[in-house]
Amino acid sequence: MKLPEQVKRLGVIVGLFLVVVVTRFFLLPESWISAEPHQAAKVVREMAKPMHYAGMMSCRDCHQDEWDTKLGGFHRKIGCENCHGPAAAHVANKDDEAAIPPKHRDREFCLGCHGFVASRPDGFPQVDGQKHKAGKRCVSCHDAHDPKPDTTPQDCGGCHGRIARIKATSTHAELACTECHAVPEQHLEDPRTAYPTVPQRRDACARCHDTASTDPAAASSRVDFGSHGRTYVCWQCHYAHLPEGLN
């Protein structure tokens, strides 16, 4: 009996499906279809490498005073070996003077993290290495394990360097930061536990830039706040530190 054409086509489809299943599960090597062999081989390769780092918990046993200082300071989340280098050999043989991790005292080492770089986040402590105590070692003023400044920076640019540089070139250059931001006293002592306010109402800018304002410094940049920008807060369209935009 001649099979209908539809049955033949269905048979071909089923046959192809079976070929795929058999090939996938029985013929192809596991390394072609699964990441597990590669992951296992990676673990073996990494475990075979010599150990260089001991982990900062190993430092606490002998350096309790430094550990306690660092734990209460701004470097508490920085591993000891981030600055001192690998310490596994030192932990294994504390009498080996050649294995003692170095104590970096040169200025450039600290500036590797704290020298001004525009791409670093605002609020990250940065200094201009050419201007800030030029030629002086950082550790002569700062305790490396608790590196808070001797005095609280009174200039916002001490932490907000990128903003300070942008604002210095804008029409807001002479405007004090506290004109727009309320800065809690706690922010000056522990910046990340209390943040300055950001204006949430249009009238913060209208004080100077509304047509009804009499502030002479904003005479060339006034708009009718009744029609301009509808209900948007000004900084949603204008960058407050450079409100005129890039030329």
**What per-residue confidence (pLDDT) applies to 151?**
66
Q: Of 67, 86, 84, which Cα lies nearest the Cα of 76? A: 67
Which pLDDT value is given to residue 88? 94
Domain contains 145:
no
In a domain, 31, yes or no: no
In a domain, 187, yes or no: yes
pLDDT at 82: 94
**Burial profile 198-231: b = 16 or more Cβ within 10 angstroms, e = fewer:** eeeebebbbebbbeebeeeebeeebeebeebeee
* 221: in domain: yes
CA–CA separation, 177 and 208 (whole Å): 15
The answer to the question of residue 57 being in a domain is no
Q: Does residue 20 lie within any of the structural domains? A: no
Write down the pTM of the prediction.
0.55
pLDDT averaged per 10 residues in sequence order, the chain, 247 residues: 84 91 86 87 92 92 93 91 94 92 91 87 80 86 84 74 87 90 86 88 90 85 89 90 82
The H or E element spanning position 113 is helix 107-114
Q: How many domains does the chain have?
A: 1
Q: 70 with 145: CB under 8 angstroms?
A: yes
The Cα-based distances of 120 to 57, 106, 133, 167, 243 in angstroms read: 29, 22, 21, 17, 22
Residue 40 inside a domain? The answer is no
Identify the domain containing residue 220 by its residue range: 179-247
pLDDT at 244: 85
Region of residue 100 (left: phi > 0; alpha: psi -120 to 50; beta: else) = beta
